[in-house]
């Protein structure tokens, strides 16, 4: 069974440019999470989806970050415009609804120059 797939694995952009990350969760997983992981720190939740509905986006900086999960399967996280401080690893995870085990993708490492 395929795990959580994220792309790209690495992205280098200049500040003020837009960037997008894609995540395909494990088949059948209703719940999808986007996390931010700064260097040397644990992941911090940005947004959580139950199917296509964003049920917790309180930590998402909405002035520049947006996310969508239109068909309740794969998801896209976008930053526009990117700032130097956005350099980090962006992790996607998924789980069955009501289950407390989350499965993580390998992440996208973003470098903003």
Partner 1 sequence: GDSVTQMEGPVTLSEEAFLTINCTYTATGYPSLFWYVQYPGEGLQLLLKATKADDKGSNKGFEATYRKETTSFHLEKGSVQVSDSAVYFCALGNAGNMLTFGGGTRLMVKP
Which part of the chain contacts partner 1 (CB under 8 A), choosing from 16-24, 63-71, 79-87, 105-113? 105-113
Between the alpha carbon of residue 18 and those of residues 3, 9, 82, 84, 89, the distances in Å are 27, 16, 6, 12, 16
Decide: helix, strand or coil at residue 5. Answer: strand
User: Contact between 44 and partner 1 (CB under 8 A)?
Assistant: yes
User: Contact between 24 and partner 1 (CB under 8 A)?
Assistant: no
Return the residues of window 64-103 that contact partner 1 according to CB under 8 A.
91, 93, 95, 98-103
Q: Minimum CB separation from partner 1 for residue 81, in Å?
A: 27
Q: Minimum CB separation from partner 1 for residue 65, in Å?
A: 19
- The encoded tokens of residue 43 equal 């992941």
Q: Could you tell me which of 40, 32, 82 has the C-alpha nearest to residue 61? A: 82
Number of residues that bind partner 1 (CB under 8 A): 25
Residue 82 CA to residue 111 CA, distance in Å, equals 10
Contacts to partner 1 by CB under 8 A: 4, 6, 31, 40-45, 48, 55-56, 91, 93, 95, 98-107
């Amino acid at each position: 069974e395929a795990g959580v797939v994220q792309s790209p694995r690495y992205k280098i952009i200049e500040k003020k440019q837009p960037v997008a990350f894609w995540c395909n969760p494990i088949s059948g997983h209703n719940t999808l999470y986007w996390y931010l992981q700064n260097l040397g720190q644990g992941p911090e939740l940005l947004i959580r989806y139950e199917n296509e509905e964003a049920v917790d986006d309180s930590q998402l900086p909405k002035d520049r970050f947006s996310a969508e999960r239109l068909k309740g399967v794969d998801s896209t996280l976008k930053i526009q415009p990117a700032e130097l401080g956005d350099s980090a690893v962006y992790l996607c995870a998924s789980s069955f609804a009501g289950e407390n085990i989350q499965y993580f993708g390998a992440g996208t490492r973003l470098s903003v120059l």
